[in-house]
Amino acid sequence: MKLRIKTLLAQLARLACLAAACGAAVTALPAFAQDPPACRAVHFADIGWTDITSTTALASTVFEGLGYQPVTTVASVPISFAGLKSKQLDVSLGYWWPVQEKAIAPFVESKSIEVLQPPNLTGAKATFAVPTYAYDAGLKTFADIAKHRDQLDGKIYGIEPGSSANAAIQKMIATNKFGLGGVKLIESSEAGMLVSVERAIRDKKWVVFLGWEPHPMNIQIDMKYLTGSEGVFGPNDGEARVYTLTSPDYLSRCPNAGKLVSNLRFSTQLENVVMQSVMNKEKPADAAKAYLKKNPQVLDAWLAGVKTYDGKDGLPAVKAYLGL
């Protein structure tokens, strides 16, 4: 009897050792951060600007390839901020600095919206531009505008009445800054302004207009931006940056989706191209897929360290989804 008890105890001890060894082996296995079911639907805010519509479509296409279910809600800037704060929205790719800096300040101070660093787009700008032939002939700075007043027919072309950019131009004229007193600001829609500019270029006339990037005009028009603005349209001659926003704790709640969101970087040229397709009435999703098929190299950085929703390697999965 005692022998059988000793044998049983020995067997139990061996089983305990095996269990401990197996447990150690399990914990030693590499693990991936699989997102919980609540993270499968990625809720994007689209503030209705063509550049943000384009980048949101690009990000959504990649998420679809990973097995997620992206959902886009078109919302104004204030509503998008409120949606991120309440966690009804997860991500916005459209915080333009410095234009939206004052509007977002209360949300940043209360830590109810997270601004990811670095920006998802650098090199953006909004300032005066001219055709390249006028630039090459000497119209290179804000101070040069007054020197060529006659060639410009005493006009500067802006955008819609009431815009902050037009207000800055009117202030320059009213205060005779750069000698622009008496110059006439031509206000119209974005489309109307571009029609006027393209007509002037066809006739080889000189024209100064409000230009910005990203925008298809940078592809369609042979143009140059003026320097020496002295901060009229913001620091560094109208420089702008675009940041990604997330709802509070999104990166920790949805680490894999958050990794992709954190990796996203765009270029002005990329956005110019996709925006051109969207503005030519192509569906944003189709424009995004077409761009990624032609430029799959951008996926390498975006998908570094990113898995599919079910834990597989992200890059080959997205390439397969795109038919690459």
Reported as a single tens digit per residue, the pLDDT across 190-240 is: 889 999 999 999 999 999 999 999 999 999 999 999 999 999 998 999 999
Tell me the percentage of the chain whose pLDDT exceeds 70.
Answer: 90
Q: Which amino acid is at 196?
A: S
Give the model's pLDDT for residue 163.
81
Which are the contacts of 35, defined by CB distance < 8 A and separation ≥ 6?
A: 254, 255, 256, 257, 309
Quote the pTM value.
0.80
Q: Is residue 4 in some structural domain?
A: no
Q: Is residue 317 in some structural domain?
A: yes
Q: Which of 1-15, 112-126, 145-159 is predicted least confidently? A: 1-15
Give the model's pLDDT for residue 306.
98
pLDDT digits (tens, 9 = 90+) for 35-83: 999 999 999 999 988 999 999 999 999 999 999 999 999 999 999 999 9
Where in the sequence is the domain holding 221, given as residue range(s)?
123-238
Q: How many Cβ atoms are within 10 Å of 102's Cβ, its own excluded?
A: 8
The domain boundary residue, chosen from 238, 265, 298: 238
Q: Are residues 149 and 233 in the same domain?
A: yes
Total number of domains in the chain: 2
Q: Which of 73-77, 91-95, 150-154, 177-181 is predicted least confidently? A: 73-77
Q: Are residues 188 and 108 in the same domain?
A: no
Q: How many Cβ atoms are within 10 Å of 270's Cβ, its own excluded?
A: 18
Q: Are residues 165 and 308 in the same domain?
A: no
Q: Is the pLDDT of residue 5 over 50?
A: no
The domain boundary residue, chosen from 182, 206, 238: 238
The domain boundary residue, chosen from 211, 238, 265: 238
3-state secondary structure at position 115: strand
If you average pLDDT over every residue of the chain, what do you get?
A: 90
Q: Which of 26-30, 127-131, 217-221 is predicted least confidently? A: 26-30
Give the model's pLDDT for residue 17.
41
CA distance 158 to 165: 8
Give the model's pLDDT for residue 33.
54
Average pLDDT over residues 275-298: 97
Q: Is residue 11 in some structural domain?
A: no
Q: Are residues 61 and 81 in the same domain?
A: yes
**Strand spans (E) along the chain:** 43-46, 71-74, 91-97, 114-115, 121-131, 155-157, 184-186, 209-213, 223-225, 239-246
Say if CB 156 and CB 179 are below 8 A apart: no
